[in-house]
């Protein structure tokens, strides 16, 4: 008999995406053993979902749901896509904005409604999951409601919940009177051992306290968040729940990210023929971005949100020094003004060496992974990170700081044993980063054979969703056995 699992999340590719959460929710369900696990997904029916998707949705039914002191409309739409059953919860009052998230005080009420509606539609669509798999603070109330107003009655009896933390920094906090008013939960829930944290109500904390199992998106991050530096004021709770806490690294969609078949890059290549064909991507990229065309010059790529979390204060500190080296640098991303302007400045000052693409472009990101020799990602913290998985897949060797998912996925180069898939440094220090970039340059220029062997190992490393799905399956089994 197959186990039934329900994903509840605030975003999901290909319908709506603001970050890596959507990739996980859209990709992971396809990789479970379809015979043994029936996975369905519930997301909000935002107005900003494209019309081409809206046209494929079928209206199921609608009803009114009690929400604290008011009654709210709940519409249910559904569609099947790539073998997975999706439900979309409709309510124009909550989901009419031009993007999924807005002001936090509005989002607090919106996702209280969404969490309650996700549970309320289950008997209506006749789906009784064994496990409800919740993602991030937006669904943190689902485990709470399961133990509260939904625990009566046979339908919900015995349902288990799992809470996955994609980034502990975002917790869904607001003042207690407003949250109590929005959620309809009794005041007894707003104590320090339940939803209250530092005087406010905290949705993610509620999910962590009430879920049967808590997961996060890499083994190292699961350990890091038990410490004050990474714990975002919840480290005590993470330590208290450590027996139920598991870290499982996110995967990468290997169909979309495949240099062998990628239609967006200049020249397809594989682990077998990258020595002759990968360089054609470098030449194409140099030409397109106006860099000096030189196949021998080391090209370093950065594709990222330009924020402090991603380590750009380190790059800021040594950028001028780095530009004296025999390297070219290409940056793609948007973010804080100071970093956007930093890269614009260096692209102007060293116009044949530095290219700054201050925008978001999926097509250009594929070209950068394919065209670069190395990929720089010196994050302050990184729950999982997907960019380093993409760079490994395309043979752009990652230079990363040893934190979170970066530590779990990039094996540092060992010149004596000829092992490793990239380069890493441990302290959050600009000159330690610069020293590692220069070490990578030395290997690139002076030990080409070792470099190429490393590229081959990187391209052959397996970070597809398959292994992650097996680990989630094992957790589901342990929850329901």
We report the CATH number of the domain holding residue 60 as 3.40.50.2000
pLDDT (mean) for 42-52:
97
Rounded to whole angstroms, the Cα distance separating 301 from 371 reads: 8
Secondary structure element (H or E) that encloses residue 236, with its range: helix 235-240
pLDDT over 90 (residue 97): no
Does residue 436 share a domain with residue 336?
Answer: yes
What pLDDT sits at residue 246?
98
Does residue 243 share a domain with residue 178?
Answer: yes
Does residue 285 share a domain with residue 229?
Answer: no
Q: Is residue 34 part of a domain?
A: yes
pLDDT over 90 (residue 219): yes
Q: Is residue 266 part of a domain?
A: no
Does residue 305 share a domain with residue 213?
Answer: no
Does residue 433 share a domain with residue 325?
Answer: yes
Tell me the average pLDDT of the chain: 96
pLDDT (mean) for 364-377:
98
Q: Is residue 267 part of a domain?
A: no
Does residue 290 share a domain with residue 160?
Answer: no
Does residue 151 share a domain with residue 235?
Answer: yes
Residue whose structure tokens are 């194409």: 284
What pLDDT sits at residue 152?
83
The residue length of the chain stands at 481
Residue whose structure tokens are 């329901």: 480
Does residue 68 share a domain with residue 106?
Answer: yes
Q: Is residue 256 part of a domain?
A: no
What pLDDT sits at residue 446?
98
* CB 423 within 8 Å of CB 399: yes
What pLDDT sits at residue 253?
87
Rounded to whole angstroms, the Cα distance separating 343 from 356 reads: 6
* CB 111 within 8 Å of CB 126: no
379-433 confidence digits (pLDDT tens): 999 999 999 999 999 999 999 999 999 999 999 999 999 999 999 999 999 999 9
Q: Which of 211, 225, 227, 282 is nearest to 404 (CA)?
A: 225
Does residue 184 share a domain with residue 83?
Answer: yes
pLDDT over 90 (residue 20): no
What pLDDT sits at residue 153?
78
Q: Sheet containing 3-8: which strands, arranged edge to edge? A: 58-67, 70-81, 84-90, 37-44, 3-8, 131-135, 160-165, 213-216, 245-247
With cut-offs at 50, 70 and 90, classify the pLDDT of residue 481: confident
Neighbours of 105 (CB within 10 A): 13
Q: Which residues contact 346 (CB under 8 A, 6 or more apart)?
A: 319, 320, 323, 329, 354, 356
pLDDT (mean) for 63-90:
96
What tokens were used for 30?
């396809």
Does residue 476 share a domain with residue 421?
Answer: no
Rounded to whole angstroms, the Cα distance separating 321 from 300 reads: 15
How many separate domains does the chain show?
Answer: 2
Where helices occur in 253-349 by DSSP H, the ranges are 274-289, 312-322, 337-349
Q: Is residue 443 part of a domain?
A: yes
Rounded to whole angstroms, the Cα distance separating 356 from 331 reads: 5
With cut-offs at 50, 70 and 90, classify the pLDDT of residue 113: very high
118-176 confidence digits (pLDDT tens): 999 999 999 999 999 999 999 999 999 999 989 887 999 999 999 999 999 999 999 99
Beta strands 70-81; 3-8: pairing state: unpaired
The alpha carbon of residue 331 and the mean position of all alpha carbons in its chain are separated, in whole angstroms, by: 20
Contacts of 17-26 with CB under 8 Å at 24 or more apart are 18/99, 18/100, 18/101, 19/166, 20/166, 20/250, 20/384, 20/386, 21/135, 21/136, 21/166, 23/250, 23/253, 23/386, 24/135, 24/164, 24/166, 24/217, 24/250, 25/135
Q: Which domain holds residue 319?
A: 274-461
Rounded to whole angstroms, the Cα distance separating 324 from 140 reads: 49
DSSP of 119-149 = HHTHHHHT---SEEEEESGGGTHHHHHHHTT
With cut-offs at 50, 70 and 90, classify the pLDDT of residue 440: very high
Does residue 473 share a domain with residue 456?
Answer: no
308-320 confidence digits (pLDDT tens): 999 999 999 999 9
Does residue 228 share a domain with residue 113?
Answer: yes
Q: Which of 396, 360, 388 is nearest to 269 (CA)?
A: 396
pLDDT over 90 (residue 1): no
Q: Is residue 258 part of a domain?
A: no
Secondary structure element (H or E) that encloses residue 89, with its range: strand 84-90
* CB 382 within 8 Å of CB 169: no
End-to-end CA distance of the chain: 12
Q: Is residue 261 part of a domain?
A: no
Q: Is residue 33 part of a domain?
A: yes
442-465 confidence digits (pLDDT tens): 999 999 999 999 999 999 999 999
What tokens were used for 147?
């133990």
What tokens were used for 78?
């559904």
């Amino acid at each position: 008999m197959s186990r039934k699992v329900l994903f509840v999340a605030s975003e999901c590719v290909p319908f709506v995406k603001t970050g890596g959460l959507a990739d996980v929710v859209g990709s992971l369900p396809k990789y479970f053993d379809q015979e043994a696990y029936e996975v369905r997904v519930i997301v909000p029916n935002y107005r900003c979902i494209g019309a081409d998707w809206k046209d494929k949705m079928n209206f199921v039914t609608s009803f009114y749901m009690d929400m604290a002191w008011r009654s709210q409309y709940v519409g249910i739409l559904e569609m099947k896509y790539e073998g997975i059953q999706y439900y979309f919860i409709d309510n124009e009052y909550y989901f009419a904005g031009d993007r999924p998230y807005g002001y936090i005080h509005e989002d607090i009420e919106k996702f209280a409604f969404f969490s309650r509606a996700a549970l309320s539609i289950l008997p209506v669509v006749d789906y009784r999951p064994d496990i409800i798999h919740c993602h991030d603070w937006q669904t943190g109330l689902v485990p709470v409601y399961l133990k509260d107003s939904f625990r009566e009655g046979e339908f919900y009896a015995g349902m288990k919940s799992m809470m996955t933390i994609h980034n502990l920094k975002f917790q869904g906090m607001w003042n207690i009177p407003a949250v109590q008013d929005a959620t309809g939960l009794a005041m007894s829930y707003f104590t320090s051992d339940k939803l209250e944290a530092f005087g406010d109500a905290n949705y993610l904390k509620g999910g962590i306290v009430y879920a049967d199992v808590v997961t996060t998106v890499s083994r190292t991050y699961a350990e890091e968040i038990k410490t004050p530096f990474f714990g975002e004021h919840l480290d005590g709770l993470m330590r208290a729940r450590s027996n139920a806490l598991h870290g499982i690294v996110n995967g990468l969609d290997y169909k979309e990210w495949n240099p062998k078949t990628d239609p967006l890059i200049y020249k397809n290549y594989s682990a077998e023929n990258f020595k002759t064909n990968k360089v054609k991507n470098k030449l194409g990229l140099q030409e397109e971005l106006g860099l000096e065309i030189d196949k021998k010059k080391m090209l370093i790529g950065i594709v990222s949100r330009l924020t402090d979390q991603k380590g750009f204060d380190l790059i800021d500190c040594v950028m001028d020094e780095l530009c004296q080296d025999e390297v070219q640098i290409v940056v793609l991303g948007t973010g804080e003004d100071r970093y956007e302007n930093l890269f614009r400045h260096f692209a102007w000052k060293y116009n044949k060496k530095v290219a700054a693409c201050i925008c978001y472009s999926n097509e250009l990101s594929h070209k950068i992974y394919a065209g670069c020799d190395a990929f720089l990602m010196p994050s302050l913290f990184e729950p999982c990170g997907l960019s380093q998985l993409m760079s490994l897949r395309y043979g752009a060797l990652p230079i990363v700081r040893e934190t979170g998912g970066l530590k779990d996925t990039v094996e540092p180069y060992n010149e004596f044993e000829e092992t490793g898939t990239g380069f890493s440094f441990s302290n959050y220090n600009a000159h330690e980063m610069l020293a590692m970039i220069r070490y990578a340059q030395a290997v690139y220029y002076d030990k080409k054979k070792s470099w190429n062997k490393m590229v081959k190992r990187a391209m052959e490393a397996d970070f597809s969703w398959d292994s992650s799905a097996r680990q989630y399956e094992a957790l589901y089994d342990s929850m329901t056995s």
